């Protein structure tokens, strides 16, 4: 059947199971937009191309499917780079389609021409420049296969305008991926399984380190079975939150720079770390030379380039986590670890009395109060999408996630402006889920024009702005490490309530602790999006904190009302 390149694009997306794309039209992609009238795919008109990539990313993280973003050439394509890099760092499967100037104009500095494949080469898993309609079908099929196989990641397809306009025979079956050099289906050798089992069975103080790969592999059930069968406590990375229900007795909580003190001490005192779908990021390990010095390490990871990259391991198991655990679990023996759990319980020490939730009410509204109340009202079952900064860490500490894929946040790149558009993508992927945006007043302003997209799509999303009038995390670093020299961190904010109302979105302001729960309840009952401007204490601090490059167990902790010490040695 003869079709134009533009028609082939939509036909291929439909056959890949795509029902929604996020995009912004422009000259070099207009033939494709013209052909959209023949497609059943729903197009979400964003207000900035960065928003389109974050929406595709949020869609992918919430659903496990490939998200799709679309833009024109030049600035349309370059506006996508931050979103592509965000997806790359967090291994999120998205496909970005960009229009390009006509093939005869490439290299001539034509209007809105940019070498986007060159620009995105370091931040994509793979990318393509397509100059003929006959190449489009196979390229799209390969792009989807690459994006979702092995270690997932973003793929960009740049398609010239003449390739979109010209016609060719469309042959879906004849366009199967042909990637002889791409081998994502690695699996460990049998002796590596035996070495791992020996370490697990001989360990006295093991800890599982649970990462984002657990959700991507769909291995949450297997991880829980491993933890329960061998009786091993589980510490989670930021992106691993949700891999184990927060209420599970083996769940220690988040590790790393802003992890709880007892979690980091447990890791440092372990004799075995079992790293599952995580990459030993510097925010997780602290000083590498003193990281878990007495522990053997097992690393289960689908990307062989991550093995021994940051932390040298004793047993690498390279392969899909679910497949590896399916092979390993039948041989794992039950163990009692009474002394180990007694020790961990003692490590918790006075953490409870340091918790801001347990301090006397001084009349101030703290971010922790807001997030804790949202958690209590939603019982830990909402999808929460955060930006980056203090509120992100408070969310990880005070919202107790019970479900996988329920915390969506930018971990690796740390992208401010991620939350609102990613939440729109997540809601499109899972329309029946309750979705909350938890965002700082700084990051929110980076992509707040997407309020228009939210209103246009009539999505029931709740936005909680943690408004402290600062770029909070930067201010905290200035407080700790730059003698409180608050350069360029105080914010003059707009009236967020009036701003939301200008888009037709219901909005309220809250500055009293007693008003948090009634406002959250009212938002959940409202039939449509709601923005809540929570005006919290300005100079609050995220505790504990491992200073950058410090030993993992040397944390700055919230001063105890009982023991006046600021540093835990």
Residue 350: its pLDDT value, please? 81
Alpha helix locations (H) across 357-418?
367-378, 390-398
Q: Count of H helices and E strands in the chain? A: 24, 22
What mean pLDDT do residues 93-120 have?
Answer: 97
Of 14, 104, 111, 538, the catalytic one is 111
What mean pLDDT do residues 44-49 have?
Answer: 98
Which tokens is 541 given? 């601090």
Q: 3-state DSSP helix/strand/coil percent for the chain, to nearest 5?
A: 40, 20, 40
What mean pLDDT do residues 479-494 have?
Answer: 96
Of 112, 376, 377, 456, the catalytic one is 112
What mean pLDDT do residues 382-397 have?
Answer: 97
Percentage of the chain with pLDDT > 70? Answer: 99
Active site residue 112: yes
Count of C-beta atoms within a 10 Å radius of residue 402: 17
Of 3, 125, 148, 161, the catalytic one is 161
**Residue 564: pLDDT band with limits 50, 70, 90:** very low
**Residue 359: pLDDT band with limits 50, 70, 90:** confident
Percentage of the chain with pLDDT > 90? Answer: 93
* 46 pLDDT above the threshold of 60: yes
Least confident segment among 318-322, 355-359, 456-460, 478-482: 355-359
Q: Write out pLDDT tens, residues 505-551.
A: 999 999 999 999 999 999 999 999 999 999 999 999 999 999 999 99
Residue 562: its pLDDT value, please? 59
Angle at 391 between CA 390 and CA 396, to 5 degrees: 100
What mean pLDDT do residues 424-441 have?
Answer: 98
SS3 103: helix
Contact status, residue 449 vs residue 47, Cβ threshold 8 Å: yes
SS3 160: strand
SS3 38: helix
Distance, in Å, from the CA atom of 48 to the CA atom of 275, rounded to the nearest integer, reads: 38
* 480 pLDDT above the threshold of 50: yes
**Residue 305: pLDDT band with limits 50, 70, 90:** very high
Which tokens is 373 given? 């109340």
Q: Write out pLDDT tens, residues 361-384.
A: 888 999 999 999 999 999 999 999
Question: Which residues on neighbouring strands pair with residue 96, listed in sequence order?
Answer: 69, 156
* 32 pLDDT above the threshold of 90: yes
Of 88, 448, 473, 555, the catalytic one is 473
| Average pLDDT of the chain, as a whole number | 96
Burial 426-457 (b: 16+ CB within 10 A, else e): bbbbbeeebbbbbbbbbbbbbbbebbbbbbeb
Q: Write out pLDDT tens, residues 435-456.
A: 999 999 999 999 999 999 999 9
Of 7, 11, 49, 260, the catalytic one is 49
* 569 pLDDT above the threshold of 80: no
**Residue 96: pLDDT band with limits 50, 70, 90:** very high
Residue 361: its pLDDT value, please? 82
Distance, in Å, from the CA atom of 197 to the CA atom of 116, rounded to the nearest integer, reads: 47
Residue 351: its pLDDT value, please? 82
């Amino acid at each position: 059947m003869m079709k134009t390149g533009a028609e082939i694009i939509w036909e291929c997306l439909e056959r890949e199971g795509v029902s929604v794309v996020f995009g912004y039209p422009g000259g070099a992609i207009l033939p494709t937009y013209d052909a959209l009238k023949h497609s059943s795919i729903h197009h979400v008109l964003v207000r900035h191309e960065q928003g389109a990539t974050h929406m595709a990313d949020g869609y992918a993280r919430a659903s496990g499917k490939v998200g799709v973003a679309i833009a024109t050439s030049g600035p349309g394509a370059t506006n996508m780079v931050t979103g592509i890099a965000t997806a790359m760092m967090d291994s999120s499967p998205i496909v970005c389609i960009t229009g390009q100037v006509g093939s005869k104009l490439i290299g001539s500095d034509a209007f809105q021409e940019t070498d986007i494949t060159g620009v995105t080469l370091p931040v994509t898993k793979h990318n393509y420049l397509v100059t003929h309609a006959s190449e489009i079908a196979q390229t799209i099929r390969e792009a989807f296969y690459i994006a979702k196989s092995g270690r997932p990641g973003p793929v960009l397809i740049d398609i010239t305008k003449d390739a979109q306009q010209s016609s060719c025979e469309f042959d879906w079956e004849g366009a199967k991926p042909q990637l002889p050099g791409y081998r994502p289906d690695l699996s460990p050798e049998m002796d590596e399984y035996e070495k791992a089992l020996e370490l697990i069975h001989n360990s006295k103080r093991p800890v599982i380190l649970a990462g984002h790969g657990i959700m991507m592999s769909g291995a949450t059930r297997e991880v829980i079975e491993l933890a329960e069968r061998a009786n091993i406590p589980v510490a989670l990375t930021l992106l691993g939150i949700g891999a184990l229900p927060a209420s599970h007795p083996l769940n220690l909580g988040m590790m790393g720079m802003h992890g709880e003190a007892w979690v980091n001490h447990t890791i440092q005192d372990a004799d075995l770390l079992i790293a599952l779908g995580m990459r030993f990021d510097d925010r997780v390990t602290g000083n590498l030379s003193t990281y878990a010095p007495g522990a053997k390490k097992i690393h289960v990871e689908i990307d062989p380039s991550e093995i021994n990259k940051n932390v040298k391991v004793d047993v690498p198991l390279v392969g899909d986590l679910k497949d590896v655990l399916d092979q390993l679990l039948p041989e794992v023996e039950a163990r009692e670890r009474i002394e180990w759990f007694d020790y961990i319980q003692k490590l918790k020490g006075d953490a409870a009395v340091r918790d801001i939730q347990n301090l006397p009410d001084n009349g101030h509204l703290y971010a922790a109060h807001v997030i804790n109340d949202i958690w209590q009202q939603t019982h830990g079952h909402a999808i929460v999408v955060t930006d980056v900064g203090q509120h992100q860490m408070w969310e990880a500490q005070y919202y107790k996630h019970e479900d996988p894929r329920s915390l969506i946040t930018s971990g690796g790149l740390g992208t401010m402006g991620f939350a609102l558009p990613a939440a729109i993508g997540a809601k499109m992927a899972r329309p029946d889920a309750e979705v909350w945006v938890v965002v700082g007043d700084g990051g929110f302003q980076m992509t707040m024009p997407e309020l228009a997209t939210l209103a246009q799509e009539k999505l029931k999303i709740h936005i909680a702005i943690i408004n402290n009038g600062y770029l909070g995390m930067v201010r905290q670093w200035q407080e700790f490490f730059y003698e409180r020299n608050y350069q360029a961190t105080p914010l003059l904010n707009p009236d967020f309530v009036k701003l939301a109302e200008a888009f037709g979105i219901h909005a309220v302001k809250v500055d009293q602790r007693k008003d948090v729960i009634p406002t959250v309840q009212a938002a959940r009952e409202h039939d449509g999006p709601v923005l809540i401007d929570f005006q919290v204490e300005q100079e609050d601090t995220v505790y504990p904190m491992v200073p950058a490059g410090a030993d993992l167990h040397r944390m700055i902790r919230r001063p105890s009302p009982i023991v006046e010490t600021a540093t835990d040695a």
